[in-house]
Amino acid sequence: MSGYRRARYLIVGDRGISVEFGNSLEEEINRRVQKMMVALESAELPGVVECNPTIRSLFVYYDPLKIGVKKLIQELRKIEGRMADITLPKSRLFEIPVVYGGEFGPDLNLVAQLLNLTSEEIIHIHSGKKYFIYDTGFIGGSAHFKIPPPLDSLPRKKTPNFGVPRGAVLIAGGLGSVFKPLAGPTGWYWIGMSPLRQWFPEKDPPLLILPGDKVIYQSISEEEYQEIKKMVEEGRCEAKILDAKESSSPVQ
Amino acid sequence: MVDMKALEVLQPGAFTTIQDLGRYRYQKYGVSISGAMDRFALRVANLLVGNEEGEAAIEATVVGPKLKALQKLRVAFTGADLSPAINGNPAPMWRTLKIQEGEVISFGPPKSGCRAYVAITGGIDFPLVMGSRSIHTRSNLGGKGRALVKGDVLAVRESGKKRAEQSPYYQMTADQIPVYGWDWRVRVILGPQRDYFTRRGIDTFLNSEYGITPQADRMGYRLQGPKIEHKTGADIFTDATPPGSIQVPGDGMPIILLADGQTTGGYSKIGVVTSVDQDLLAQAKPGDRVRFQRVTIHEAHGLLWEREKSIQAIPKTFLAL
């Protein structure tokens, strides 16, 4: 079995508990996070405000005026004991079009240099593979997956970069960010741009790609990017969901 | 129907938004909690005008806005002292005030603190987005998804206004009003990744003074001071970063995430600022100094209970005018 035999319960300030299931990037650990979330949400524990599933831990946000921390951890341990019975929803596979390099991915050359490879080799490694989504977070539900070697050896940048646009395809610290849902800062390497949208605040849930889903990158040209971007902005296209035989069916 | 237009923005100020107590249950979709940076000041401002404590109010930053009243209103100024005035006459803070249609609220030089709150009877009428009226500019949520600009017109919630107008006038006593300086003692609970830091790193963090850099806004404050030493790396598997999280990236300089902070992050967290001191930090400005003091979770919960009791006591200890 991967991960810890029993979860670790970490204190995160005076309103949070992190239920940590392991310290590695493994689908099995992540599925335990997802299961714990489903179990906790259905338990409707008084004093629990909300939870936030991440790669290898479930963050539980609570109201300390309604439940004490000791009692909360006791209750969470009980729920942890019951979570094996939970069945998770089936995952979907999304095709993610991306333009690599140039002004669409200003860090691609730097990444190639750091890894002693060509940009083409980086693109070849990054695209065409199915990736499992571990979490959605940061701002606007940035979706993360495990990147294959040798890309996984890149650390995060020491000082974050302010002002990266929406759609930026990012890698760092063993992870990929499918594409940035909203413009903003990042400490990751920016290698491409996708014309898709992840963030739909008017919808519930407000995200296209959710934890447990899978994605596959498809390298496209600048022209195709502009075309898809226009369609996405006009609300005519969200993304392609591919079925098991890889034939495509448009969403919406 | 009665016209509920309440305030017209004549000048927006440096960064003026509408905030309530925040947006919950959507962190898992990457939605920041947001809400008032200084919750204490927001809650009190609302109580002073007879509102429920979590109504939406105006949050101004250092340079306040200029607002024209479009109807008779009750208002209260709390938080930072940005020299509030009504029709050019200095207005007292931390009490209920009445303003007439056509009168103008303005602000002058900042005297203490960073963020001022203006509550009006009934609360600001914005559509609820994911359960909150708070503006979060980075994800364009709340109102028009941006800070207020000249020409914006704010409406008041009709139902709340009627009820609030029945309540008495209040004035807070001197001992209930916080004093804001420029050197801050901030209480923190160590963890969840304290094991990523050397003993020396933790000592540096707890025994040094840090300066707030100009990179300080509702999302968080970047601090500058002695470098905090990690054992090996600064990076973790991305996990949750609730407000108050103190991230330390590879450069060893702490970043405190606040109301508009992202929901997850990949830098190790040396500690988390207590809820009560997050309110205080909301009043800190670039150039101010910060020192961290370690407390246990039980002490932090004790502080929170004290804070709640003092807020609950406010309607009883107000002096009716």
Question: For the domain that residue A62 is a member of, what is the CATH number?
Answer: 3.30.1360.40
| pLDDT at B244 (0 to 100) | 98
Cβ burial of B316 (10 Å; 0-12, 13-18, 19+) is exposed
Burial class (CB in 10 A: 0-12, 13-18, 19+), B16: buried
The verdict on residue A161 lying in a domain is yes
Question: What's the rounded Cα separation, in Å, for the pair A81 and B254?
Answer: 37
The pLDDT tens digits for A152-200 are 999 888 777 778 999 999 999 889 999 999 998 888 999 999 999 999 9
- A51 with A146, same domain: the answer is no
The model's pLDDT over A121-136, given as tens digits with 9 standing for 90+, comes to: 999 999 999 999 999 9
Residue in chain B closest to A188 (alpha carbons) equals B266
Q: Do B191 and A173 touch (CB under 8 A)?
A: no
Report the first-to-last Cα separation within chain B, whole angstroms: 32
Six token digits for residue A8: 């670790």
* Contacts with B, A 88-117, CB within 8 Å: none
- Taking one residue from A and the other from B, the number of pairs with CB-CB distance under 8 angstroms is 161
The answer to whether B242 contacts A175, with C-beta atoms less than 8 Å apart, is no
Q: Is A3 domain-assigned? A: no
pLDDT on residue A102: 96
A16: closest chain B residue by CA: B242
- Nearest CA-CA distance, residue B189 and chain A, Å: 6
pLDDT given for residue B290 in this prediction: 98
Question: What is the predicted pLDDT for the residue at A131?
Answer: 97
| Whole-number pLDDT of residue A252 | 34
Question: Which tens digit of pLDDT belongs to each residue from A7-66?
Answer: 999 999 999 999 999 999 999 999 999 999 999 999 999 999 999 999 999 999 999 999
Asked whether B97 and B91 are in contact (CB, 8 A), the reply is yes
Asked if residue A160 and residue A68 are part of one domain, the reply reads: no
Position B318 scores a pLDDT of: 62
End residue of a domain, out of A46, A68, A85: A85
The closest alpha carbon to B64, from B44, B84, B88, belongs to B84
Q: Are residues A179 and A228 in the same domain?
A: yes
Contact B28 A14 (CB under 8 A): no
Q: Which positions of chain B have pLDDT values less than 70? A: 1-2, 316-321
The pLDDT value recorded for residue B317 is 61
> Per-residue confidence at A248, pLDDT binned at 50, 70, 90?
very low
| Residue-wise pLDDT tens digits, B250-282 | 999 999 999 999 999 889 999 999 999 999 999
Chain B residue with the nearest C-alpha to that of A205 = B29
Query: Chain A residues with CB inside 8 Å of B140's CB?
Result: 182, 201
Q: What total number of domains does chain A contain? A: 2
Q: Distance between CA atoms of B243 and A95, rounded to whole angstroms?
A: 34
Query: Which residues of chain A does B24 touch, with a Cβ-Cβ cutoff of 8 Å?
Result: 49-50, 61
Query: Which position has the token pair 């207020």?
Result: B148
Distance (Å, whole) CA A244 – CA A224: 25
Record: contact B240-A155, CB cut-off 8 A: no
> What's the confidence (pLDDT) of residue B170?
87
If one counts every other C-beta atom within 10 angstroms of the C-beta of residue A130, the result is 13
In a domain, residue A211? The reply is yes
> Are both A206 and A231 inside the same structural domain?
yes
As a whole number of angstroms, the distance between CA A18 and CA A23 comes to: 13
- For residue B2, the model assigns a pLDDT of 60
Q: What is the DSSP letter of B167?
A: S
Nearest partner of B49 among B175, B168, B178, judged by Cα: B168
- A251 versus B174: which is more confidently predicted? B174
CATH number where A225 lies: 2.40.100.10
Domain final residue pick, A85, A119, A147? A85
- Residue B30 sits at the chain A interface (C-beta within 8 Å): yes
Does residue A2 form part of some domain? Answer: no
- Cβ of B266 within 8 Å of Cβ of A14? The answer is no
- CB–CB contact A159 B265 (8 Å): no
State the residue for tokens 């390099």: A101
Residues of B numbered 146-175 whose beta carbons fall under 8 angstroms of chain A's beta carbons: which are they?
none
Q: Which residue has the higher pLDDT, A242 or B189?
A: B189
Q: What is the CATH number of domain B183-308?
A: 2.40.100.10
Domain boundary among A85, A119, A154: A85
Q: Which of B237, B263, B268 to mutate to test the interface with A (most CBs of A within 10 A)?
A: B237
User: Phi-psi region for residue A123, left (φ > 0), alpha (ψ -120 to 50) or beta?
Assistant: alpha
Q: Give dist(CA B3, CA A233) in Å, integer.
A: 36
Tell whether A66 lies on the interface with B, counting CB pairs under 8 A.
no
One domain, residues A143 and A21 = no
Residues A146 and A203 in one domain: yes
Q: What is the pLDDT of residues A68-123, one digit of tens each?
A: 999 999 999 999 999 888 999 888 999 999 999 999 999 999 999 999 999 999 99
Q: How close B31 gets to chain A, by Cα (Å)?
A: 6
> Do B269 and A12 lie within an 8 Å CB cutoff?
yes
Whole-number pLDDT of residue A250: 40
Q: Chain B contacts of A51, Cβ < 8 Å?
A: 27-28
Query: Which residue, chain included where needed, has tokens 């209260």?
Result: B76
Statement to judge: residues A116 and A236 lie in one domain? yes
Chain-chain contact of B297 with A69 (C-beta, under 8 angstroms): yes
Domain housing A22: 8-85
Same domain membership, residue A148 and residue A205: yes
Confidence bin at A235 (pLDDT 50/70/90): confident
Predicted local distance difference test score (pLDDT) of residue A242: 78
Taking an 8 Å cut-off on Cβ atoms, the answer to whether B30 and A137 are in contact is: yes
Same domain, A243 and A147: yes
Report A:23-62 residues touching B (Cβ under 8 A): 23-25, 37, 49-57, 59, 61
Burial letters for A43-77: b for 16+ Cβ neighbours within 10 Å, e otherwise? eebeebebbbbbbbbbbbbbebeeeebeebeebbe
Closest CA to B237 of B268, B262, B214: B268
Q: Cβ contact (<8 Å) for A137 and B25? A: no
Would you kindly state where each structural domain of chain B is located, as residue ranges?
5-175, 183-308
Facing B264 at nearest CB: one of A16, A135, A160: A135
